[in-house]
Chains A and B, each alone.
Chain A
Amino acid sequence: MELVVFLVLAVGALGSAINVVLGKSPTLAGINLVSTFICLAGIYLLIGFPFLAALQIMVYAGAIMVLILFVIMLLDLRSEEPGLYSLSSLLGPVIAACIAAFLALILPGSKVSQIALPTAGDGSSASVGGPGLAESLFGTNLLIFEVSSILLLVGIIGVVVLASRQHKPHAERIKERLLDREGGQS
């Protein structure tokens, strides 16, 4: 029974992930990504991490993907024309495959793989959330937690710096507009 559910979810996740990459319409790609996330949440649930599953749906499927779809729909992106695959579009998969192979080679022997993960199933542990998770986040792993939050902060500052334009003072803008209007009338 468990195996059947897992297979359905895994095929769903993989299928929609492939659709994300191969689909022509950006909007449909976004929608497929949502279903990938939901299938992943189902797998987390299956291996005994309900808290993680709820967060996956709430944060990734519920908030981040809504924003991405919002932007895609707002920009009204057209479907991609077929036959646009160039060298640069091939480069992405190659790099991704290289990174995956690198990680697969290096991870089993490194210290990362020896970190004790919270085990699934036992009620009070980090898998369900609550006190166990809080202790792990704010006690034993406090430093990593704070460093990753600083990383997010840096990301936000970066976005603000990149997105902000040089704003002219208000008076100057009004002056420009008046000049434009006069120019149009004469």
Chain B
Amino acid sequence: MSAIEITFMLGKILAFFGIVVALAALSTLAERKVSAWIQLRYGPNRVGPFGILQPLADGLKFIFKEEVVPDGANKLLFRLAPAMVATPALLAVSVIPFSFPVMIDGVSHAMSIIDVPIALLIILALGSLQVYGILFGGWASNNKYSLLGGLRSSAQMVSYELTLILSILVVMMLSGTMNLTDMFYDQETGQVLLWTIFKFPVGTIAFGLFLIAAFAETNRHPFDLAEAETELVGGFHTEYSSMKFALFFIGEYAAMVTMSCLLVILFLGGPTLFGLLVGIENTWVRALLGMGVFLAKLCSFLFLFIWVRWTIPRYRWDQLMHLGWKVLLPISLVNIVLAGVWVIYIAPTWGG
């Protein structure tokens, strides 16, 4: 490993984790700003210009708040749970490629912190571990509302994980690879229509299914039954205060950022822009421009997550299960068959 490579690796680690943590912090601000905008209010506007320093002020407030551990709680699990939500969500960032690979001394280096062929599986595995933080947090709190929230969340995540995985499978079949960086190239050959989302109907259906499942997996509205305020006080985090509560929040928003990254890579071609960037000779310039495109797409998905939260009413619990098992699952199974037909009969005639 040369000095340049080590510097490059350290730079990647700092930059990507920085981006995700900053995006997670900024989306808490965006959440409040957009909600205010939708409801014709001002939102936070006192701390810094346009309230841009509000996340910082919130963080300081969380640090100085008193930490309460409820009586009869399982102390170890109660303290462990917030970290178990935040850690997997942040770890998943390490396998996400944010841009095109760059050439260093004639060797191609992927723009992800670690480049492994099973990146998608790692993200899914970490995502399925995240549910434990919520489940344990709910159980260890020794509070019936927390327990109900934790139970709801675990059932919901297990149900929607199926749809999520099956729609990812469709993308894998269409692109013929499990490597996330290779998926960019598959979707960029100069034609707009080669983004997965435009491969109608297979890719479009997979996109819809993945989007719905992503909302459920991240416990976001309209599927945030785990913390339904009107029914369960605060759900699994009712008993949490100060920095522990904040860690749950960071975990939720980091998971949102990871899901948006996956949406961009799998369905919107990652850093590609209608084949405009592929011709650039200098790989560093290409990688930087690609990263800009990637972040723009990413932010539009983050906005979508917030937009939906303040627009669509919450699902009822039985409706949620009905939708997951009886509607989305059959559709995704049929979609896999369609994807097989697509790969064998349609793709060869398309030149893609």
Contact = CB atoms under 8 A, between A and B. Distances in A.
Contacts of A129: 117-118, 121, 178
Q: How large is the interface on A (under 10, 10 to 19, 20 to 34, 35 or more residues)?
A: 20 to 34
B150 A73 contact: yes
A66 B124 contact: no
A61 B129 CA distance: 7
B212 to A, nearest CB: 19
Given A31-B77, A74-B151, A63 B128 contact: yes
Contacts of B150: 73
A115 B128 CA distance: 33
A51 interface: yes
Given A31-B77, A58-B124, A66 B135 contact: yes
Contacts, number: 65
Given A58-B125, A62-B125, A69-B135, A130 B117 contact: yes
Nearest to A41: B125
Interface stretch (B7-15, B152-160, B268-276, B339-347): B152-160
Nearest to B150: A73
Interface in A34-82: 34, 38, 50-51, 54-55, 57-58, 61-63, 66-67, 69-70, 73-74
Contact of A130 (B126, B147, B154, B178): B178
Interface in A11-47: 27, 31, 34, 38
Contact of A62 (B116, B117, B128, B155): B128
Interface residues of B, number: 26
Nearest to B74: A28
B199 to A, nearest CB: 22
B161 A63 contact: yes
Contacts of A31: 77, 136
- The SS class assigned to the B binding surface is helix
A70 B155 contact: yes
A61 B122 contact: no
A128 B136 contact: no
Contacts of A58: 121, 124-125, 128
B88 to A, nearest CB: 10
Contacts of A66: 128, 131-132, 135, 154, 157-158
B139 interface: yes
Nearest to A65: B132
A51 B124 CA distance: 12
B327 to A, nearest CB: 20
Given A61-B128, A62-B128, A73-B139, A55 B121 contact: yes
Contacts of B128: 57-58, 61-63, 66
B233 to A, nearest CB: 18
B80 to A, nearest CB: 10
A51 B121 CA distance: 8
Contact of B118 (A62, A63, A67, A128): A128
A70 B139 contact: no
A55 B121 CA distance: 8
A73 B147 contact: yes
Contacts of A63: 128, 158, 161
| Residue among A34, A61, A66, A73 with the highest chain B CB neighbour number at 10 A | A66
| Residue among B125, B131, B158 with the highest chain A CB neighbour number at 10 A | B125
Interface of B: 77, 116-118, 121-122, 124-129, 131-132, 135-136, 139, 147, 150-151, 154-155, 157-158, 161, 178
Given A31-B77, A54-B121, A55-B121, 18 more contacts: A31-B136, A50-B118, A51-B118, A55-B125, A57-B125, A57-B126, A57-B128, A62-B128, A63-B161, A66-B131, A66-B132, A69-B135, A70-B135, A70-B151, A70-B155, A70-B158, A129-B117, A129-B178
**Which are the 3 A-B pairs with shortest beta-carbon distances?**
A62-B128, A54-B121, A57-B125
